């Protein structure tokens, strides 16, 4: 495929943002709330105030650590056929779903409720069946499971319900310890797991310019285990960053670059992905907004990752602040996805997110799956050659005849024109005779069909029992033993 990636920023603007990031890191600094990391940074040439836990890093240290970023990051599926290789200059993006939602839309009734462990299993199986390349195990957040082991239980459910690699955000280093134990059990050992890790972990900063101790602890643990680190700054323009796109992008970049410096000092070549969740505040209603600018922010950050950081990028795409799959939801989802898709993002995520991420909707997942497939098809462009122009068939048909029954039409029609299975192209009378269902209703039915039919190959029974034992030990240690 020819290069068709877009550039939201001119090269000089990319340079200017990167220079601003280096300037902040060298002269303003970042708070790193971790003594061992502070010592590591000081030994590497950073100026460290151990009392204030503030770090100022010279530009050459930041660049040296960027030079250590590997050219590809391996996300291992349960089988090698499901492995995903992420590269910073990947032309066709991978896709993934939302994480961190508390509520879920029931595809049967359309009503919203607190998510359960059964919802987690359904969610994972749904995405295992779709074209999405990753499963986000941290969603949904089952209220019935004790909080101190909730993320561990979610990981266990994900291991059992998908062949694909998944992304998860451990609550803390204790949770990560048990997740790694489960991953090594499923993969068959520590070395095998580090070569093809079954999951990646989200590492979050606190904006502006702070890395908390528990997140740095997980950087250390992730580097030791060989787990891909998804560096996830979350500044909000107007609240924890300047109220401009360049300003909020710059703050996010500083925080991610700082996490990368620590990771590369711990283990040169540590696998990292730039995974910002950068938002802006709607000042009229006091909530974070999703719309045109959100997609632009994701596009700019994908460009920064590709052109300056040398990292794969994982940015948000199709999601919405609407509480239902209405016109607003579709417009926001398309706008938020199309810009990062065409700007060279490695992973475009967020599918299933409605109500600003508070609620996850399986119907939105299957709709977003189609949105992304159509946008990626557009990204691939149009091939112009003798066969696609069709001079032979044009000569064959000549003047005034049709092309319907020609071999050329049979050969090319499906590959040239994508037919979205969720679209209804019939006229009103036929549509009404078939029930007059809107796209959201059709998407909910597709979810139900998949959940009825799709079952990924199960884990070995002994492995399932081992995962259950690990979750039970985690519960006992937390003082929240499982009741069932």
Question: Is the pLDDT score of 100 beyond 90?
Answer: no
pTM here? 0.94
What value does the mean pLDDT of the chain take? 94
Cβ contact 255:207 at 8 Å: yes
Q: Topology of domain 69-380, per CATH?
A: TIM Barrel (3.20.20)
pLDDT for 99 equals 84
* Longest Cα separation, the chain: 85
pLDDT for 474 equals 96
What does the pLDDT average to over 264-292?
90
Question: Is the pLDDT score of 280 beyond 60?
Answer: yes
Q: How confident is the model at residue 287 (pLDDT cuts 50, 70, 90)?
A: confident
Residues of the chain with CATH 3.20.20.480: 69-380
Question: At a CB cut-off of 8 Å and minimum separation 6, what does 207 contact?
Answer: 233, 234, 235, 236, 240, 241, 251, 252, 255
Question: Is the pLDDT score of 403 beyond 70?
Answer: yes
Cβ contact 170:176 at 8 Å: yes
d(CA 473, CA 187): 20
Handedness of CA 158, 159, 161, 167 (dihedral sign): positive
* 225-271 pLDDT, tens digit each: 999 999 999 999 999 999 999 999 999 999 999 999 999 999 999 99
Cβ contact 240:207 at 8 Å: yes
* 433-482 pLDDT, tens digit each: 999 999 999 999 999 999 999 999 999 999 999 999 999 999 999 998 77
pLDDT for 136 equals 74
pLDDT for 1 equals 42
**Sheet containing 103-105: which strands, arranged edge to edge?**
112-114, 103-105, 359-360, 353-354
pLDDT for 290 equals 83
Question: Is the pLDDT score of 3 beyond 60?
Answer: no
* 353-398 pLDDT, tens digit each: 999 889 999 999 999 999 999 999 999 999 999 999 999 999 999 9
d(CA 432, CA 424): 11
Question: Is the pLDDT score of 294 beyond 80?
Answer: yes
pLDDT for 31 equals 98
Cβ contact 332:322 at 8 Å: yes
pLDDT for 293 equals 92
Q: What are the DSSP E strand ranges found in 268-341? A: 272-274, 279-282, 287-289, 314-316
pLDDT for 483 equals 59
pLDDT for 239 equals 94
* 119-173 pLDDT, tens digit each: 999 999 999 999 888 887 656 578 788 889 999 999 999 999 999 999 999 999 9
pLDDT for 141 equals 72
pLDDT for 223 equals 98
pLDDT for 7 equals 75
Question: Is the pLDDT score of 91 beyond 70?
Answer: yes
pLDDT for 135 equals 80
pLDDT for 2 equals 46
Cβ contact 196:187 at 8 Å: yes
171: left (phi over 0), alpha (psi -120 to 50) or beta: alpha
% the chain with pLDDT above 90: 88
């Amino acid at each position: 495929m020819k290069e068709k990636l877009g550039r939201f920023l001119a090269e000089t603007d990319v340079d200017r943002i990167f220079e601003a990031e280096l300037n902040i890191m060298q002269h303003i600094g970042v708070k790193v709330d971790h003594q061992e990391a502070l010592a590591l940074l000081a030994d590497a040439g950073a100026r460290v105030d151990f009392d204030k836990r503030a770090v100022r890093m010279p530009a050459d240290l930041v660049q040296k650590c960027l030079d250590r970023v590997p050219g590809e990051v391996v996300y291992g599926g349960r089988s090698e056929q499901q492995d995903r290789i992420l590269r910073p200059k990947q032309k066709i993006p991978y896709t993934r779903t939302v994480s961190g939602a508390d509520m879920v839309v029931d595809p049967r009734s359309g009503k919203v409720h607190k998510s359960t462990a059964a919802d987690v299993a359904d969610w994972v199986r749904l995405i295992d069946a779709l074209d999405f390349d990753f499963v986000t195990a941290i969603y949904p957040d089952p209220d019935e499971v004790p909080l101190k082991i909730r993320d561990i239980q979610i990981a266990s459910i994900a291991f059992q319900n998908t062949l694909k690699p998944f992304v998860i955000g451990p609550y803390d280093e204790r949770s990560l310890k048990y997740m790694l134990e489960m991953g090594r059990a499923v993969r068959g050992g520590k070395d095998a797991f580090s070569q093809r890790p079954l999951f990646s972990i989200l590492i979050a900063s606190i904006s502006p310019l702070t890395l908390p101790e528990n997140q740095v602890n997980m950087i250390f643990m992730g580097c030791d285990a060989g787990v891909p680190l998804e560096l996830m700054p979350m500044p909000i323009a107007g609240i924890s960053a300047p109220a401009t796109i360049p300003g909020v992008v710059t703050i996010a970049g500083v925080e991610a670059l700082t996490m990368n410096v620590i990771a590369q000092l711990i283990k040169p070549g540590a696998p990292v992905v730039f995974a910002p969740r950068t938002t802006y505040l709607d000042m009229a209603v006091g909530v974070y907004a999703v719309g045109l600018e959100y997609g632009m922010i994701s596009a700019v950050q994908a460009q920064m990752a590709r052109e300056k950081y040398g990292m794969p990028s994982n940015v948000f795409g199709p999601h919405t602040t609407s509480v239902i799959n209405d016109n607003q939801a579709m417009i926001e989802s398309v706008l938020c996805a199309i810009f990062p898709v065409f700007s060279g993002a490695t992973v475009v995520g967020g599918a299933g997110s409605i109500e600003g991420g508070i609620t996850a909707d399986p119907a939105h997942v299957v709709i977003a799956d189609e949105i992304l497939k159509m946008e990626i098809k557009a990204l691939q462009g149009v091939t112009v050659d003798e066969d696609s122009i069709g001079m032979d068939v044009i000569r064959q048909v000549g003047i005034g005849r049709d092309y319907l029954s020609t071999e050329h039409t049979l050969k090319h029609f499906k590959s040239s024109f994508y037919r979205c299975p969720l679209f209804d192209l019939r006229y009103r009378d036929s549509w009404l005779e078939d029930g007059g269902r809107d796209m959201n209703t059709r998407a909910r039915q597709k979810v139900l069909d998949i959940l009825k039919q799709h079952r990924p190959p199960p884990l070995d029974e002994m492995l399932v029992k081992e995962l259950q034992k690990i979750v039970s030990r985690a519960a006992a240690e937390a003082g929240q033993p499982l009741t069932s």
